Chains A and B, each alone.
Chain A
Amino acid sequence: MSSNSSKRSSKRPVKDALVTRRRLRLGLGFTMALLLVIAGKLFLVQGLDFGGLAEAATQQLSRTEVLPATRGQILDANGTVMATTVLKYDITAAPNNFNEPGDKFERIDANGEKQTFTREQAVKELADALGLKPEDLAKPLEGTGTYSMIAKDVSPVVEQKVMDLRLPGIYNVPKSQREYPLGSVAGNVIGFLGQDGDALGGVEQTLDSKLRGTNGERTYQMGRNGIVIPNAPSSITPAKNGESVKLTINKDIQYYAQQTAEQQKKQYGADWVSVDVIQIKTGKIIALADSSSVDPNNPGASKAEDLGARSVTAAIEPGSTEKTVTAAAAIQEGKVTPETHVLVPPTYTVDGQNFQDAFPHGTEQRTFAGIIGDSLNTGTVMVGERLTKQQRYDYLRKFGIGEKSGVPLPGDSPGILAKPEQWDVRQQYTVLFGQGVAQTPLQTAMIYQAIGNNGVRLQPQLVESYIDPDGTEHKVSPGASTEVVSPQTAQQVRDMLESVTTAADATNVKVPGYRVGGKTGTAQSPGDGGFVGYTSSFVGMAPMDDPQYVVAVTVQHPKSNIYGVNQGPAFNDVMGQVLRTYNVAPSTTPSVKLPQYYN
């Protein structure tokens, strides 16, 4: 037994070891094979992605959201915000969720305690937060629908109050909204956005590409539970906010001009009135006021024809204010001086065309200054015919008639100025006193800007600067200037314009302390079926010792007797306000009073 066992024990370990080793190898082989299968599968899944599963998963998890760019602001010359984008909320409800608790509403209050309250209480709280009556909410909250609008465009403060109530089924929908804090003040210039955010008028429309900015994008992966997967690839393209636009408009002057326009419109029952203020040395538009300006917050309330800026869209026959062009041209061409004697007959006939004046008079011994002073069509034609037709046309063109003013406003009209060869026999004379030619009130104002600026016409400038989102301000350089007449000619024309207010037609034009000059205009306005009404205007500048500002008042189709219509007081008001606002030093030199008659 013992020998047997010793024999077996000496043999068994060898056999056991062999078996163990074989088993081990087998096990190892099996494990390796399994590993290989797993590795293979792993390679298939991770490396080759058969069936596009990984891609599909990424696509399912990936979310792309637009980071909206904030639209730039529109500012006035002093930086007052005239258009801005604000955050607003719509409060919506899902009535099915709201009505689910029945009459047992529950919430955790600020102290962490559980509150229970009734549906009636919930509705009342909601109504209080929104400033509504509970019965207003009865309809949108009843039923089992999934959506109803509770309140539109509420401020974030109200939204906060509503969301603090923690009512089920009440939701907030953030949205950005364009607001115009000044309302209809400069509304005609600023323009407005449509319901879908498209720019539909004014600077908003013409400078949309600057204001708009570029939307950004954020891509990330989100798990089924709605949590962003932290280390999954994500990318952000930040939004590029729009540039802000600073205008040359001064909101206070603009308001004053608009107020004056409204008043003139009301007083004379006119179709419309525009009041424009231009800075002479720079061509900057300080005010571009129209009556019945649109309130951009609510453009739907305005009539379609009131949506634009008439000062640049309405091409009208200017009338006698155009005599300034004739005077400047005739003096520049050496045909006449302000003192030139002209024997003016009661009516004047040339080429079979008879011209008469607004008031009856006998044969008068007028100086040229006297012709302009009392706005005689007869005398103007007598002097103006010394210019060739081409010269008449060229000077009108040089003063900017027949070309767009270039201000960034929709519908900027070039006016209507036919070529001299197309003028009919009467038109060649009527253009001398502003009939048979049409131009915008702004173009008329720019004629006087050139006269005030020693004969150099500047481009009207509406945009002061563009401001980057980071606050860097890029000044807009003024456009090209045109020398229309010599400084001497401009001075002589200015003396004649001043004499209009000191010795002739418009002695009611006065701004205490300042020398002023200007020209009245009364045009017969053509329309469907001939004469439809008058255009009454006054364009002037001050102070005459160093002209700084032009104010142009244009009243279209006043209803009252045209001889009672006078834009002098309106001009005085606006000009006085402008001069005081900009602290223009009062005149120190004696005013000019050219002789109107000769003996």
Chain B
Amino acid sequence: MATFRFALNELPPEAEGLRAEVREFLRREVSGHGAKGRSDSWSRWDPEFSRKMGARGWIGMTWPKQYGGHEKSALERYVVLEEMLSAGAPVSFHWIADRQSGPLLLRFGTEVQRQRFLPAIARGELAFAIGMSEPDSGSDLASIRTRAEKVDGGYRVNGTKVWTSNAHRSQFLIALFRTRVVPDKKHEGLSQFLVDTKTPGITINPIIDLTGEHHFNEVVFQDAFVPEDMRVGEEGNGWRQVSTELAYERSGPERYLSSFALLRAAIADASKEPGERAAVTIGHLVAEMATLRQMSLSVAGMLQAGENPNLEAAVVKDVGTTFEQEVPEALHALLGLEPRIDTGSDLGQALGFVMQKAPSFSLRGGTREILRGIIARGLGLR
């Protein structure tokens, strides 16, 4: 049996110094948002906020300076992320580019691609979407069918991507296409591409979520041309690249903080001397959250040390999203408050918002079942 390596991690002094700076910034920029607004942190689109963060040097923090980065440690970046999310800052515009697209280009992109995209991402001017899932390929990602056929000077793309968050308002997406069909070897023949969302032959159709909001899209490719120099990495290396990318996607503090603004509002709502039931509920949730922060920090420490914490990241995401989903359930049981859309108390609205978002917590970035499969593999069961 493999053992999990959850070692205690300690943030370095420079990271703690940075924390004070970030808090001061957030006090000015984010105060005034209610609990409902603060519950909606990394799906709230605010290009101006992202540009301010970019100006502060808080996007692309760990990247080399030659690409507009700031050569800070992964732990300093972690502090910025956890402060942004715990404050409920609107980080959606730059989130994907900072977390996945930029690191992917840094690792697998060409020099020209890095020069062209990374500085703009770091300035908070360039938003990315991710084109992975398809109508018939969700958890079984390697079964994707969107074809990129080699033509003169590039590729002709046909197929459909779904659940593409923010495709309608991002300048680019990084998409996974099948460049070669290898019978019985679905993980082979996949490649990643940088795609300009304004490319002729691309149609972006909204998919409205159950709250009536538009974040998701269906992206249809009909003979869309993607130039050769927009391929990321070698042809056929897509599966390996995507696996690396998913590790970035699964390891951050966004996997346990989604319900924190709601929890904080409920604590504020409780009196200074809460009754026994309220005290037990708050204590139980705080104990879980405090533990998750240490686990998440531990994974950040492994990333900083250059280790590959895929297994540990899967554990944190599984335990973390379970906690995120438990918060609205526990508060419903405690308060008996009617969840509301846009009337009534701020707490009721935050409850209504998080309750409706909660099903997505254990779907996005790998379903709970897929993550537990990864953990089971780590345990030697498969």
Partners in one complex: no
Show the binding face of B for A, using Cβ within 8 Å: none
